[in-house]
Every structure is written in structure tokens, then in C-alpha cells.
Amino acid sequence: MSDDCLFCKIVAGEIPADMVLENDHVVAFRDISPKAPTHVLVVPRTHAANVAAVAASAPHELAAMAVAAQQIADDQCGGEYKWVFNTGASVGQTVFHAHGHVLGGELEESIV
């Protein structure tokens, strides 16, 4: 856990979020600025800066993120979804704790 990380604080329950799913490996919560009818962030409980870092240090957590993304899509948008990871500030990553965006329903053109 990183003391100054927004998502670590959400994982720890220090900051409230609209939780969709929680298990031993991940938490998932609604994005505060949704780009689609379903827009949920899937976050590993362990801090890692981006998806590549999770894959290198904790591949089981990346697998748990994928299972959670599918479960969310099954529950909320008919099982079909786009799963997006931003890695680096220049491509839009603003919180440097790995997270995948589960997007479903009618997507905004800017994210397709």
C-alpha cells in the first residue's frame, strides 16, 4: 500500500466509493466521471503503478482482475465490454495504481 495513493485509500476503506465488487484480490467501483453506461474501475488490492507492473509482480492478481471484469460485464451489460488500461501520464493515466476500466453499453466515440 502506498500512503499517498488514492486507490490504495479506497481499497483500505479510507475513502468511500460506489463499490460494485470486492474479493481477496481486487476491488471494483464506479468511475466518478463515466464514459459509458457501465464504467467500473477494477483495481488490485496490492499497489502497482500500472498493468505491466501487476503482470510482472503479481500475475495472479491480473488474472483476478480479468475474472472480475467479466463478472461485472455479465452482471451489468450483457457480458460484452471493453477493458481499457492507461499506462503513463501522456496517455491519460492520472492515478498511478493499476486499474482497468470496464466499459459497456453505448460507448462515447472518444474511447472507441
Distances (CA, A) of 2 to 12, 49, 95, 112: 11, 10, 12, 32
d(CA 110, CA 112): 6
Contact 84, 91 (CB under 8 A): no
Distance, in Å, from the CA atom of 60 to the CA atom of 47, rounded to the nearest integer, reads 14
Count of CB atoms within 10 A of residue 105's CB? 14
Which of 39, 47, 97, 99 is the catalytic position? 99
3-state helix, strand, coil in the chain (%, to 5): 35, 20, 45
99 is catalytic: yes
User: What amino acid positions are annotated as catalytic residues?
Assistant: 99
